[in-house]
Amino acid sequence: MEALQFNTPITAIAGLDPAAISATLAPLRAGERLRFLYGKLGARLVATTSFGIQAAAMLHLIHEHAPKVPVVFIDTGYLFPETYRYAEELTSRLDLDLRIYQPNITAARIEALWGELWSDGQAGADKYALLTKIEPMNRALRELGADVWLSGLRRSQSKTRADRAFAEQQNKTLKIYPILDWAEAQLDHYFREHELPRHPLAGEGFLTMGDWHSTRPAGADSEPGATRFSGTKYECGLHLDSGTPDFQI
């Protein structure tokens, strides 16, 4: 598949071919990728953030290069208090167009009806992800009218992300990863260059961030994948392999 060019007309990418978009994005810098995508796709775009350990870099890039893109924050109701405060800080500092989506069912009701689903084996964990993450994200895509999702996933974060392309189709939604090829050193440099605040728990040994019940700080020899879901998996339920039947709309 021939790569698209910076001056490619929108009609040429209306079909959103993942291979062509990946080939176009690969040689560009992250900011160029965002400007290109916003210039071509505009209102079809939505970004997401978890306000995790390294989220400020992707959010700053959006602020600089595609500030009108809405940023969806899925609030499961089980995030660390520090994450909520960090979200307030970054939203104000970067003037984000933040759209907060929450489950249709409260945390109290989940526990009253089903107990601690996240600790009830694979079936319980899957139900928890569907209720608190997948359904709200599907709703966000539908309400915002978006079919192209920008995410800050990086290949170096985990083995499950090592082989991802810059763009991949997942049911009706095209997912694009503008900083997919960034290594830790590049990310750290970006934080220092732009004087971005770190997540408050970064200094307490947390390598990744999620719900308080499924995230723990790293030990002396821990990898990021070992700090989520007791090491059984890394992905929270949103960033699944292409073709997962319940996601997306």
40 annotated active-site:
no
Identity of residue 29: R
The torsion of the CA quartet 80, 83, 84, 90, rounded to 10 degrees, works out to: 180
**Which of the following is catalytic: 56, 236, 238, 248?**
236
CA gap 103, 106 in Å, rounded = 7
Token pair, residue 229, equals: 């879901």
CA gap 45, 205 in Å, rounded = 34
What are residue 72's phi and psi, to 5 degrees?
-90, 130
Is beta strand 98-101 parallel, antiparallel or unpaired with respect to 71-74? parallel
Q: Which residues are catalytic?
A: 236
